């Protein structure tokens, strides 16, 4: 892959978007490489958690504006569908994805971070949905995922004004889960990845699924939670977790 590096160690994968000369802007070929990396980690049963980050001073400074300039309405729809498919593979994955935001996360970059389960930000990070400055609106999920995460007030504020906000402001409004010293960003993100990777894999995957569906299911969400909960209670992982608790040792989960 030309624009994305993929490393795996001890059950954790790191996907690094690597087009620093254009601030990691997501041109179609970059998105294609990102999809390949996501498909790879999703198919790898040895991987439990994934950290996505960027090379240089940007996480991702957006979709590629040069490419956007070439699109007509039909091309715009196709582009929306490709990005939504790729980001959907993150959201729907049974593995935990963490965005380690090292710098600019604008437009499609902020949408990529929003598709991840947690966002850990360097204190240098800048977030925003500046599409309206270009006369367009977000097309890779921000109107939906940001609204679900932050509520309509902040989603409208950020998407309709295009204002760029600091990591600390992003933390204050609940967009970001942790703000850390820039030099510690990867260590903090990897620690968080290791924490979730040490938990019951089935429990983590099913809890993520139930939370993902919280806004679609209405009251049926409680029934859905009960069904998924029952699967975890009937699992070998539960037997192991309970046994390990009383034996005062770390559990060895198998994900079933
Ligand atoms: N696309 C293409 N190139 C970009 C880019 C981008 N998003 N962002 C930066 N670059 C390029 C710059 O043009 C420059 O290239 P050269 O001039 O060196 O050839 C290089 O990266 C370095 O950028 P700067 O020289 O501007 O660097 P600075 O440090 O001065 O400024 C900046 C950094 C992040 C403040 C600035 O680059 C900036 O404002 N960039 C644009 C950020 C932005 O507006 N991002 C949102 C893009 S819109 C859709 C789906 C998705 C989307 C839209 C539609 N449909 C399905 C239809 C998503 C849209 C977006 O993401």
CA of 10 to the centre of ligand 1 (A): 35
- Same domain for 89 and 207, yes or no, is no
Among 151, 147, 150, 122, which residue's Cα sits nearest to residue 57?
Answer: 122
What's CA 81's distance to the chain center, in Å?
18
Query: For residue 123, is it within any domain?
Result: yes
pLDDT tens figures, 40-98 = 999 999 999 999 999 999 999 999 999 999 999 999 999 999 999 999 999 999 999 99
- Same domain for 13 and 100, yes or no, is yes
Query: For residue 223, is it within any domain?
Result: yes
Number of domains in the chain: 2
Query: For residue 219, is it within any domain?
Result: yes
Is the minimum distance from the CB of 203 to ligand 1 under 6 angstroms? no
pLDDT tens figures, 42-52 = 999 999 999 99
- Same domain for 26 and 153, yes or no, is yes
- Same domain for 76 and 181, yes or no, is yes
- Same domain for 79 and 190, yes or no, is yes
CA of 233 to the centre of ligand 1 (A): 48
Q: Reduce the DSSP state of residue 10 to 3 states and report it.
A: coil
Alpha carbon distance 60, 102 (integer Å) = 9
**Ligand 1 atom at minimum distance from 65 CA:** 1
Residue numbers of the domain that contains 239: 201-246
Say whether pLDDT at 216 is over 90.
no
**Ligand 1 atom at minimum distance from 133 CA:** 44
Among the options 131, 172, 247, 252, which is catalytic? 131
- Same domain for 123 and 176, yes or no, is yes
Instruction: Give the DSSP letter string of 64-126.
Output: -HHHHHT--HHHHHHHHHHHHHHHHHHHT-SSEEEEEE-SEEETHHHHHHHHSSEEEEETT-E
- Same domain for 21 and 145, yes or no, is yes
Question: Is the separation of the CB atoms in 18 and 53 below 8 Å?
Answer: no
Q: Whose structure tokens read 């699109």? A: 71
**Ligand 1 atom at minimum distance from 109 CA:** 61
Query: For residue 251, is it within any domain?
Result: no
Q: Hey, whose CA ends up nearest to atom 25 of ligand 1?
A: 22
**pLDDT at residue 218, rounded to an integer:** 87
CA of 143 to the centre of ligand 1 (A): 20
Is the minimum distance from the CB of 200 to ligand 1 under 6 angstroms? no
Q: Hey, whose CA ends up nearest to atom 10 of ligand 1?
A: 22
Is the minimum distance from the CB of 22 to ligand 1 under 6 angstroms? yes
Query: For residue 218, is it within any domain?
Result: yes
- Same domain for 151 and 116, yes or no, is yes
CATH at 162: 3.90.226.10
Instruction: Give the DSSP letter string of 183-235.
Output: GGHHHHHHHHHHHHHTS-HHHHHHHHHHHHTHHHHTTHHHHHHHHHHHHHHTS
- Same domain for 225 and 142, yes or no, is no
Query: For residue 252, is it within any domain?
Result: no
Is the minimum distance from the CB of 83 to ligand 1 under 6 angstroms? yes
CA of 64 to the centre of ligand 1 (A): 6
Residues 175-195 have a mean pLDDT of 98
- Same domain for 172 and 76, yes or no, is yes
Query: For residue 254, is it within any domain?
Result: no
2: left (phi over 0), alpha (psi -120 to 50) or beta: alpha
Is 131 marked active-site?
yes
Among the options 7, 29, 91, 111, which is catalytic? 111
CA of 107 to the centre of ligand 1 (A): 9
pLDDT tens figures, 3-39 = 999 999 999 999 999 999 999 999 999 999 999 999 9
11, HSE (Cβ side, Cα atoms, 13 Å): 16
- Same domain for 114 and 169, yes or no, is yes
pTM: 0.96
Question: Across-strand partners of 96?
Answer: 49
Helix/strand/coil percentages in the chain, nearest 5 = 55, 20, 30
Q: Reduce the DSSP state of residue 9 to 3 states and report it.
A: strand
**pLDDT at residue 196, rounded to an integer:** 97
- Same domain for 61 and 179, yes or no, is yes
Q: Hey, whose CA ends up nearest to atom 40 of ligand 1?
A: 61
Query: For residue 59, is it within any domain?
Result: yes
């Amino acid at each position: 892959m030309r624009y994305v590096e993929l490393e795996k160690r001890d059950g954790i994968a790191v996907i690094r978007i690597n087009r620093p000369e254009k601030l990691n802007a997501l041109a179609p070929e970059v998105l294609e490489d990102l999809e390949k990396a996501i498909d790879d980690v999703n198919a790898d049963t040895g991987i439990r958690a994934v950290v996505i980050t960027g090379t240089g001073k940007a996480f991702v400074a957006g979709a590629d504006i040069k490419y956007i300039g070439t699109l007509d309405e039909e091309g715009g729809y196709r582009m929306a569908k490709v990005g939504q498919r790729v980001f959907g593979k993150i959201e729907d994955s049974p593995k935990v994805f963490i965005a380690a935001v090292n710098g600019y996360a604008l437009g499609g970059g902020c949408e990529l971070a929003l598709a991840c389960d947690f966002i850990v930000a360097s204190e240098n990070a800048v977030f925003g949905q500046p599409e309206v400055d270009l006369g367009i609106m977000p097309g890779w999920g921000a109107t939906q995922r940001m609204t679900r995460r932050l509520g309509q007030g902040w989603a409208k504020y950020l998407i309709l004004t295009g204002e760029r906000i600091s990591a600390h402001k992003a933390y204050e409004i609940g967009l970001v889960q942790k703000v850390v010293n820039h030099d510690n960003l990867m260590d903090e993100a990897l620690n968080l990845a290791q924490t979730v990777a040490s938990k019951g894999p089935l429990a983590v995957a099913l809890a993520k699924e139930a939370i993902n569906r919280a806004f679609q299911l209405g009251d049926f969400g409680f029934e859905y939670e009960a069904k998924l909960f029952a699967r975890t209670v009937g699992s070998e992982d539960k037997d192991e977790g309970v046994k390990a608790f009383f034996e005062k040792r770390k559990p060895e989960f198998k994900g079933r």
